């Protein structure tokens, strides 16, 4: 957090010497109502990193201990990033689309691909 760049919640807590086992176990996955109730709890849960009043809550997987609630104050909440699960390449996007099409039982799902046509991309249905 020293250079201002976002870190993963696991990294933030490691930087602050917080052992994951001391965090409260969390459900998998929590219902949105559970997350909102945790954020709005009175009194607020303490920030898992510094102990200040929390402003955010999330469930984070920790190797060896499983899912844990991570409550963060505004400053620490803004300093962490959510792990993106969105593919960053066209092939990654196509792979996700092929998988979804396959699960839906669509014909030719395995052949779904992007092909370049001039400056545009289109989906190959052939």
Give 14-40 pLDDT, tens digit per residue: 999 999 999 999 998 889 999 999 999
Terminal CA-CA length for the chain = 49
d(CA 46, CA 58): 13
d(CA 86, CA 30): 21
Q: Spell out the domain ranges in the chain.
A: 9-79, 90-124
Block residue for tokens 């620490």: 76
d(CA 10, CA 63): 10
pTM here? Answer: 0.62
The helix/strand count (H/E) of the chain reads as 4, 4
d(CA 26, CA 58): 9
Closest of 99, 126, 119, 122 to residue 110, by C-alpha: 99
Give 57-107 pLDDT, tens digit per residue: 999 999 999 999 999 999 999 888 765 667 778 788 888 888 888 888 888
């Amino acid at each position: 957090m020293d250079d201002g760049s976002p870190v993963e919640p696991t990294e933030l807590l490691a930087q602050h010497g917080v052992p994951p086992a001391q965090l409260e176990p969390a459900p998998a996955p929590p219902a949105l109502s559970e997350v909102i109730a945790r954020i709005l709890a009175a009194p607020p849960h303490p920030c898992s990193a510094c102990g200040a009043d929390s402003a955010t809550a999330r469930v984070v997987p920790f190797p060896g201990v499983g899912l844990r609630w991570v409550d963060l104050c505004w400053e620490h909440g803004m300093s962490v990033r959510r792990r993106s699960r969105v593919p960053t390449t066209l092939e990654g996007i196509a792979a996700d689309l092929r998988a979804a099409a396959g699960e839906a039982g669509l014909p030719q799902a395995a052949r779904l691909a992007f092909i370049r046509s001039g400056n545009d991309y289109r989906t190959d249905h052939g």
